[in-house]
Amino acid sequence: MLKIGEQIEINIEKIVFGGEGLGYYNDFAVFVPMSVPSDKLLVEIISTKKSYARGLIKKVIIASPDRVSSERITFEDYHGCDFAMINYEKQIEYKKEMVKDVFSRIAKIENINFDKVISAEKIFNYRNKVIEPIGYKKGKVISGFYKRKSHEIFEVEDNYLQPKEVNKIFTYLKSRFTEKKLSVYNEKKHKGMLRNLMARVNSAGEIMLVVIINGNITKELKKILNDTYNKYKNVISIYVSINNKKTNFALGDKNILLYGEKIIKENLFGINFNISPTSFFQINIEQTKKLYELAISYFSDIKNKNIVDAYSGTGTIGMILSKEANKVFSIEMVESASKDAEKTAKENSISNITFINDTVENGLTKLLNSNEKIDSIIFDPPRKGIDKDSLQEVVNKNINELVYISCNPSTLARDVEILVSNGYKLTKLSIVDMFPQTSHVESVVLIKRKHS
Ligand SMILES: C[S@@+](CC[C@H](N)C(=O)[O-])C[C@H]1O[C@@H](n2cnc3c(N)ncnc32)[C@H](O)[C@@H]1O
C-alpha cells in the first residue's frame, strides 16, 4: 500500500478523461497531473484511496517524446494550463483518445470514427474573456490563477492564453491598486474590497473591463478606472460589479457601468452580436466560427425547417440559422443574454426568431407541447448536460434530427446513451479544439431518429 509522502518511480501509460496521466505501481493505479504517456517519473504520493493514489512529479527521469520540456513540471510552470506540457499535435491525439474512452465506458459505443477533428491555428493568447481572482502578496496586489485544488493565488508574468493587451492593462490596474493601498477581499474573513478582474475583448481589439468588488465603489477606485479609460483607447467599456456574497461565482448581481459602452459587439457571419458582462459568449472566436459552421452543416435541408436553439446564450447559433431556416426558437435562462439577443435581432433586422427567456426544462417542454411544429433541435448545454426529462420530451415528440454541442464528453456520452436506447442513432461525431493547452474538449454530434 502506498503512503502519502512516499516517492516512487513510475511509467505513464495513458491520459485519462480530466487530463491526468495514469501509471501503475505494482499494479496499483497512480494518477499524475501534468504527466505525459511514455514519461518515466519520480513521483511523490499526495493522496491515497482504496483503488488508486495521486502523486506529483518530483523529477522527469526520462521525458516522453511528446513533452515540450523536462525541466518545467508543475501546473504553475505552465501558467495553469494542464495540457501545455504536451506538444500541440499530441494534445489533439490525447483529446481524441479521451472522447473515445468516455464514449466506450459511458455510452457503450466502440470504434468511434471521427467525422472531423478541427485543431486550432492560434494556440496561445486566444481567449476573449478572462477572469482572474485578486490577491495580496508581499505588499503587492496580485491576480492570476488558483493553485490546483486550493484557493491560493499564483501570478504569472505573461499569461499564455489571454490577449497580451489584457495582460498589460491588468498589470497597470494592479500597480495602481497597490499604490493607492486598496484593500483586497479575504474569503475567510469576508472582508476587503477587490475580488476579481475581468476583461472581454472582441475581434476589433475593443475591451470591456469589469472590476468585481465587495462593498461600495470608492473615490480612489473610480479615479483609477477613469485614468484607465483615458489611458487605453481600446478600453471602450468599464463596469464595476458588486458581489457582496460568500460565493465562488465571480460576478455579482449589480453591474454598474462607470465609463463607455453598455455592451461590447462581436461580428460573426455578418451579424453584429451584443455581449453584456453577464452573458455567455464562446471564448475562442476563431474556433467558434468553425464550430458553428460545422454544427450548422449537420442539419439537412435547413430551409423550411423550424429549429430550436436550446441553451442559446446571446442567440448566436439561432440567428445564424435564421438566415436560412423558416423559424427559430432560442431558449436561454440568463435574462441579460436573452436581452442581448433580442437587441441583436432588432439591429440586424432578423424577424423569424423568437427568444424564450426560460430554462430549457420549462421552455422546451412548453414549446414541444404547443401548436408549433418543431423539426430539429440544436443543444449547447453547460457542463452538466441536458436534464433527463427534457430528453424524454424530445423522444416522446419524435424529433427527427438533433445536433448537440458539448464542452463535457462524459455528460454528452450519458445523454447520447439515453437517446440511443430510445430509438436514436449517433450519426456523426466531431471535435473542435476550442481550448488549446488545456485538457478541455468540445464535441459536436448529429443524432437522428432511426428508420425516419
Ligand atoms: C455553453 S453555453 C452556450 C451558449 C450559446 N449556444 C453559444 O454558443 O454562445 C450554455 C448556455 O446555457 C445557459 N443555460 C444554462 N443552464 C440552462 C438551463 N437549464 N436552461 C436554459 N439555459 C441554460 C447558460 O446561461 C449559457 O448561456
The answer to whether 407 is a known catalytic residue is: yes
Q: How far apart are CA 85 and CA 37, in angstroms?
A: 11
Å from CA of 239 to ligand 1 middle: 23
CB proximity list for 344: less than 8 A, separation 6 or greater: 271, 272, 273, 274, 314, 315, 319, 350
Residues 150 and 181 in one domain: yes
Residues 110 and 137 in one domain: no
Q: How far apart are CA 386 and CA 395, in angstroms?
A: 13
Residues 339 and 401 in one domain: yes
Å from CA of 105 to ligand 1 middle: 26
Q: State the number of CA atoms in the 13 A half-sphere of 377 facing the CB.
A: 28
Residue in 341, 378, 336, 345 with CA at minimum distance from that of residue 360: 378
Global confidence as pTM: 0.93
In a domain, 224, yes or no: yes
Residues 195 and 324 in one domain: no
Residues 55 and 106 in one domain: no
Residues 405 and 370 in one domain: yes
CB 385 within 8 A of CB 414: yes
In a domain, 161, yes or no: yes
In a domain, 34, yes or no: yes
To test the pocket of ligand 1, the residue of 311, 408, 444 to mutate (highest count of ligand atoms within 8 Å of its CB) is 311
Q: Order of strands across the sheet with 140-143?
A: 140-143, 129-137, 194-201, 207-213, 235-242, 254-260
Given this model, what pLDDT does residue 452 score? 53
Range of the domain at 311: 101-120+283-449
Task: Phi first, then psi: give them for residue 260, nearest 5 degrees.
Answer: 85, -150
Residue 263, SS3 per DSSP: coil
Residues 54 and 139 in one domain: no
CB 83 within 8 A of CB 96: no
Pocket lining for ligand 1, CB < 6 angstroms: 280-282, 311-313, 316-317, 331-334, 337, 359-361, 380-382
From first to last of its 452 residues, the chain has per-residue pLDDT tens of 899 999 999 999 999 989 999 999 999 999 999 999 999 999 999 999 999 999 999 999 999 999 999 999 999 999 989 999 999 999 999 999 999 999 999 999 998 999 999 999 999 999 999 999 999 999 999 999 888 777 889 888 778 898 999 999 999 999 999 999 999 999 899 999 999 999 999 999 999 999 999 999 999 999 999 999 999 999 999 999 999 999 888 999 999 999 999 999 999 999 999 999 999 999 999 999 999 999 999 999 999 999 999 999 999 999 999 999 999 999 999 999 999 999 999 999 999 999 999 999 999 999 999 999 999 999 999 999 999 999 999 999 999 999 999 999 999 999 999 999 999 999 999 999 999 999 999 999 999 999 75
Residues 262 and 311 in one domain: no
CB proximity list for 419: less than 8 A, separation 6 or greater: 391, 394, 395, 402, 447
| CATH number where 23 lies | 2.40.50.140
Q: How far apart are CA 335 and CA 312, in angstroms?
A: 12
Outline where 63-180 has alpha helix (H).
88-106, 164-179
Q: Which three cell numbers stand for residue 326?
A: 423558416
In a domain, 333, yes or no: yes
DSSP letters along 292-307, please? HHHHHHTSS--TT-EE
The alpha carbons of the chain give a radius of gyration, in whole angstroms, of: 23
For residue 422, the tally of other CB atoms under 10 A from its CB is: 14
Q: How far apart are CA 38 and CA 52, in angstroms?
A: 20
Atom of ligand 1 nearest to the CA of 384: 16
Residues 340 and 427 in one domain: yes
CB 15 within 8 A of CB 22: yes
Residues 439 and 396 in one domain: yes
Atom of ligand 1 nearest to the CA of 359: 20
Å from CA of 431 to ligand 1 middle: 19
- In one-letter notation, the amino acid at residue 133 is P
Residue in 178, 236, 247 with CA at minimum distance from that of residue 205: 236
Q: State the number of CA atoms in the 13 A half-sphere of 258 facing the CB.
A: 24
Distances (CA, A) of 35 to 182, 223, 250: 40, 46, 30
